[in-house]
Amino acid sequence: MTDAHLTMTRRTGRRLLQLLSAVLVLGLSSCYIPDSFLAEFRISKGGGAAIDYNGDLVWIPLALDIADSKVSRDEAAEKSQILLKDLGRDGGFKELKQTGDARFRVSYHREGCMPDPYLYSFVRRNAQIMSVHVKDRILTVRGSQFRPSDAARMMAKGVPMRGEFRVVTDAKVTNHNSRDVRAFGPYTVYVWKIENPLSPSPRLSMEIDPTVCIRENSKP
């Protein structure tokens, strides 16, 4: 990872700002879950950031209705097409393909400056699997957290949720729950292995100076 990769434009930062949310606990009425995925969030101590997600997104309400035989095959196909078109409205999706009813294979990339205060969510505010919150120069990144009853229901219906989430940074990390921490040159990589919906939700906090990225990208 280079400094250039972490240097973001103010315009992109404003576009990211449109996707924000502070909601951290998800119900199953309106949410995606990740599966067979590799997600990486890169953040410099100067406030420049990028997120990449490669893997599947599964729309849980429809997936559970299919598992419970509450929708016909035609209804499931129609609803999946609507979901596909909805995801396609976000320019962050570089690749987007339906691989099954309620399941989509995606490649996603966004980058920008993270001002203070700041809130960001992926996939979107009412269906997030990751959120970022910046306040008073403390940035906190969290993975989605399901209610135990919802997680148990997903597992009982055979809905998988597997993958790996990483945070890469050169900032001072003040708190995290990763059990796998690696050095990568001047950066530290924090890794979470997600095995099922009951896996611990990733959580990490760090100190950043968001003015650096904004100042660098405001130069003529």
Compute φ and ψ for 106, nearest 5 degrees: -135, 155
Is the separation of the CB atoms in 60 and 123 below 8 Å?
no
> Could you state, in order of their start, the residue ranges of all structural domains in the chain?
3-216
Is the separation of the CB atoms in 13 and 212 below 8 Å?
no
193 alpha carbon, distance to own chain's centre = 14
* Structure tokens given for 148: 């135990």
Query: Which range has the worst mean pLDDT, 54-58, 103-107, 193-197, 215-219?
Result: 215-219
Q: Whole-number mean pLDDT of the chain? A: 86
pTM of the model: 0.83
* Structure tokens given for 19: 């996707």
CA distances in angstroms from 139 to 44, 131, 136, 170, listed in the order given: 11, 10, 8, 13
Q: What number is the average pLDDT over the span 102-116?
A: 96
Question: What pairing do the DSSP bridges indicate for beta strands 145-146 and 25-26?
Answer: parallel
Cα gap 67→61, rounded to integer Å: 10
Per-residue pLDDT tens over the stretch 40-75:
999 999 999 999 999 999 999 999 999 999 999 999
Is the separation of the CB atoms in 140 and 169 below 8 Å?
no
DSSP string, 38-50: EEEEEE-TTSEEE
CA distances in angstroms from 124 to 26, 59, 119, 128, listed in the order given: 12, 13, 11, 5
Per-residue pLDDT tens over the stretch 145-154:
888 888 888 8
Assigned CATH topology for domain 3-216? Immunoglobulin-like (2.60.40)
Residue 112 has a pLDDT of 94
* Structure tokens given for 46: 């100067």
Q: What percentage of the chain carries pLDDT values higher than 90? A: 72
Half-sphere exposure of 3 (CA within 13 A, CB side): 6
Is the separation of the CB atoms in 76 and 64 below 8 Å?
no
